[in-house]
Amino acid sequence: MKRKEHPVDDPRGRLTKDGIRIHEPSEFEGMHRAGRLAAEILDEVGDLVAPGATTEALDDFIRGRVEAAGARSATIGYRGYQHASCISVNHVVCHGIPGPKTLKDGDVLNIDVTVIVDGWFGDTSRMYVAGTLSRKAQRLIEVTHDSLMRGIEAVRPGNTFGDIGHAIQSYVEAQRMSVVRDFCGHGLGRVFHAPPNVLHYGRPGTGPRLEEGMFFTIEPMVNLGRPETKVLADDWTAVTRDKSLSAQFEHSIGVTRDGCEIFTLSPAGRFHPSM
Ligand code: MF3
Ligand code: CO
Ligand code: CO
């Protein structure tokens, strides 16, 4: 999401002084169900990714699959957005709009799906390749995925959001790639986007302290070139300014007593394209 002010949150439950909602242990179950559906859809849509496919066709599949599950798409109607997914190809960083353009051999793409199941939001994205994966795209995708998992490993009560950002940034920059600053992860639960902004860069020990019951996404965007982005005239599509290749992975997670649970794990074990 774009860094911005957050809408008014659900009025129930406890908020920290930073406005972050603390959920009850019983509320993890709803997030698991929403996260699982989003992840299943990402598993299934992978079979349709191939040279010649349009991103519109992938989105149509996702929309139909959400409806068939009796769930709702969180993105249709969100700030005027009209689609059940964002599909971001090659140098598109995020919020790519599905359309009639066909994928070419070697294109890499992120598909980002958010569903609402019984009022709970499940938000996840991962990378796919149409046809043959080039060595440099493969490296970018591996580093981006590992950066997400390193961020997740930093999630436990007592650590801070800065520890998550630092884990991601220090790893990515050591690989001579860059972390996008213009978009961040976010709290979620019964709402799509809630405090805090989950930055994918930062200094250890800074930012709000993590507490059991916080639900949020981590969704690092990593570029082969420079970190700067710009948004195209459609007001959604964010691209790298230098046209370098960009990748992203996103999980929705919940903080537990001694770590976290990932709500959006792939039931088929296919979260990563080389899985
Ligand atoms: N799923 C995106 C996120 O990770 C948000 C997409 S909003 C849309 O926060 F309107 F562009 F779909
Ligand atoms: Co998100
Ligand atoms: Co998302």
250 CA distance to ligand 2 middle (Å) = 7
Q: Which residue is closest in CA terms to ligand 1's atom 7?
A: 75
Determine if ligand 1 sits within 6 Å of the CB of residue 123: yes
The pLDDT tens digits for 116-170 are 999 999 999 999 999 999 999 999 999 999 999 999 999 999 999 999 999 999 9
**In one letter, which amino acid is 44?**
E
Q: How many whole angstroms separate alpha carbon 262 and alpha carbon 275?
A: 18
Question: Mean of the pLDDT values across residues 187-202?
Answer: 98
Residue among 96, 105, 162, 99 nearest 125 (CA): 96
What contacts 64, CB < 8 A, 6 or more positions away?
none
Instruction: Name residues with Cβ closer than 5 Å to ligand 2, which is an ion.
Output: 123, 217
The pLDDT tens digits for 248-258 are 999 999 999 99
The pLDDT tens digits for 8-60 are 555 556 999 999 999 999 999 999 999 999 999 999 999 999 999 999 999 99
Q: Which ligand is nearest to the CA of 95?
A: 1
Q: What are the φ/ψ torsions at residue 248 (nearest 5 degrees)?
A: -155, 145
161 CA distance to ligand 3 middle (Å) = 19
Q: What is the pTM of this model?
A: 0.96
Q: Which residue is closest in CA terms to ligand 1's atom 9?
A: 1
